[in-house]
Amino acid sequence: MYGLPKIHKNEVPLRHILSMSGSLQHELSKWFSEIIEPGIKEFSGNCIVESFHFAATMQELNCNSQTNFLCSFGVTNLYTNVPIDETIQIYADMLYRRTLTPPTFSENIFLELIELVTKSVCLMFNDVMYQQIDGVAMGNLLGANIFLGFQESLVLTRVFRPFRYWLYVDDTFAIFKYHDEVSDFFLNLNSLNTALKFTMDDSLPFLDVLVERTGNRFSTTLYRKPTFTGLYINWDSFAPIRRKMSLIKTLIHRALVICLTNKPDKEFKKIADILAKNGFPEDIISKHIRQALAKFYTYPLSWFYQ
């Protein structure tokens, strides 16, 4: 296990990463992922796939500027606080006591195997060997997503649903019809389970997309964290030219899709400045921007979300 510093937070805490690639537990958890996939879909109806999906969804929404309130929620230290025994029971109930087709082996075998994946993980940190008996680390494919999805489904089905609600791992984005619903929903989230501590944020970047209200519509722009350095592959670096060209196209396509309803001109200027600082020739940058805009006026809107 190693830690990556969260330099954008106070006191620079570490994000714990468990390197499990190639291990017995990692291979077994990949096999388990296929078995439990039908059940996970029951708790993933609110999941957003990626930034383009979220931006397209927001751009299509109508809003009432007087009664729609936007808010985002996050879970503090989700992975290390996941209660393993409770999560295993959620798996077992989902597969053997619902309408889903159960696996071809018995529940006892299932429990034995999943405990091997989640509670028998050995790891080394600072040259000391440990065994993880509770919580999961990033790198383990089982645990956090289904536990959080199950808990949030209790609020969404038994209490009330916001006007819109989206989830991506441990971050959520919600739209409420009335302001009073925000605090009530937040209190219900924090009363779900002692292992979950939700925080509420009035700023609205979600999946690197910043949502803004424009009249009765929502517009989206790119969001960059304060720690963004603008450092990409340098034009003079010893790397294939296709990688450098792909970087230009990727940044331009991303800006065009996410800023589609908010005039991407400013974002193109930022991209040009960032790439120029990395040594990219101005004429090549301008050429790719012109080509992207030509396609924008030629192809249907759906093409840009592919």
Domain regions of the chain by residue span: 2-219, 229-305
| Gap between the Cα atoms of 39 and 100, Å rounded | 7
More confident residue, 123 or 260: 123
| Gap between the Cα atoms of 106 and 270, Å rounded | 57
* pLDDT at residue 160 in the model: 76
**Contacts of 67 by beta carbon, 8 Å cutoff, 6+ apart:** 177, 178
Mean pLDDT on 148-171:
81
Residue with tokens 């720690």: 227
Q: 254: closest CA among 240, 272, 268?
A: 268
Mean pLDDT on 49-60:
84
Q: Which burial class, exposed, middle or buried, applies to 65 when counting CB atoms under 10 A from its CB (0-12, 13-18, 19+)?
A: exposed
pLDDT tops 60 at residue 265 = yes
Q: Confidence band (pLDDT; 50, 70, 90) for 251? A: very high
Give the pairing type, strands 164-168 and 69-75: unpaired
If you average pLDDT over every residue of the chain, what do you get?
A: 82
pLDDT tops 60 at residue 301 = no
pLDDT tops 90 at residue 277 = yes
More confident residue, 54 or 263: 54
Q: Confidence band (pLDDT; 50, 70, 90) for 247? A: very high
Q: Mean pLDDT lowest for which of 31-40, 98-107, 119-128, 266-275?
A: 31-40
pLDDT tops 80 at residue 276 = yes
Mean pLDDT on 244-248:
94
Q: 23: closest CA among 105, 129, 122?
A: 122
Mean pLDDT on 96-109:
85
